[in-house]
């Protein structure tokens, strides 16, 4: 009972701090959009409105996949410089490695896009598609499969949760 009261107090305190911050920024004119000047601070800063009718596990899985996607694209971009090196053996080896990892990266990016679409559109089918594509991406390059396992599991859990949320509403 005590932890529930603490959680409620923390949420109330979060809302008060966010409301004060928003009001301060609005009054200073520091907000980017001028149409925000007429919106009351309480209406924008409700705790939990982002997840209303949306699966939190799908959000976390997509967030993990997005972080991994950014990492793997950055990794590929940084190793792409070695292809233009003067050592031809190094260039051939790097080119082959890039060619082997390309299907994995492509499927990971497509799966992440489906995950983002699934979260914002509240469609369970897109969440299932994202989970399947992440599983195929993990199968195409087993060495990096461990980075996608949390996204795969949370994608399928998010699919079932989103399906239940859609049926309830």
Domain boundaries, the chain: 2-47, 50-168
Res 129 pLDDT > 90: yes
Q: What is the pLDDT of residue 76?
A: 87
Contact in structure between 79 and 97 (CB atoms under 8 Å) = yes
**In this predicted model, which residue has the larger pLDDT, 80 or 46?**
80
With vertex at residue 19, the alpha carbon angle to CA 17 and CA 24, rounded to the nearest 5 degrees, is: 95
Q: What is the pLDDT of residue 23?
A: 65
**In this predicted model, which residue has the larger pLDDT, 86 or 135?**
135
| High-pLDDT (> 90) share of the chain, % | 51
> Shortest CA distance to 157 belongs to which of 134, 133, 122, 127?
127
- pLDDT, tens digit, for every residue of 11-43? 555 566 666 655 655 565 555 555 545 555 555
> Shortest CA distance to 106 belongs to which of 147, 148, 69?
69
Spacing of C-alpha 8 from chain mean position:
27
Q: What is the pLDDT of residue 64?
A: 96
What does pTM read for this prediction?
Answer: 0.69
| Conformational region of residue 29, where left means phi above 0, alpha means psi within -120 to 50, and beta covers everything else | left
Per-residue confidence band for 91, with pLDDT thresholds at 50, 70 and 90: confident
Q: What is the pLDDT of residue 63?
A: 96
Mean of all residue pLDDT scores within the chain: 81
Res 121 pLDDT > 80: yes
């Amino acid at each position: 009972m005590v932890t529930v009261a603490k959680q409620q107090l923390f949420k109330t305190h979060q809302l008060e701090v966010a409301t004060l911050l928003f009001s301060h920024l609005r009054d200073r004119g520091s907000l980017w959009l001028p149409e925000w000047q007429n919106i009351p601070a309480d209406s924008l800063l409700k705790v939990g409105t982002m997840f209303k009718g949306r699966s939190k596990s799908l959000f976390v899985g997509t967030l993990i996949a997005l972080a991994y996607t950014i990492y793997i694209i950055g990794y590929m971009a940084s190793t792409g410089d070695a292809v233009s090196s003067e050592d031809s053996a190094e260039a051939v080896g790097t080119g082959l490695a890039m060619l082997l990892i390309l299907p994995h990266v492509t499927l990971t990016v497509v799966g992440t896009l489906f995950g983002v679409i699934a979260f914002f559109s509240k469609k369970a089918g897109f969440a299932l598609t994202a989970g399947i594509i992440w599983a195929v991406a993990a199968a195409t390059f087993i060495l990096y499969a461990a980075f996608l396992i949390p996204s795969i599991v949370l994608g399928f859990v998010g699919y079932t949760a989103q399906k239940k949320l859609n049926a309830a509403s």
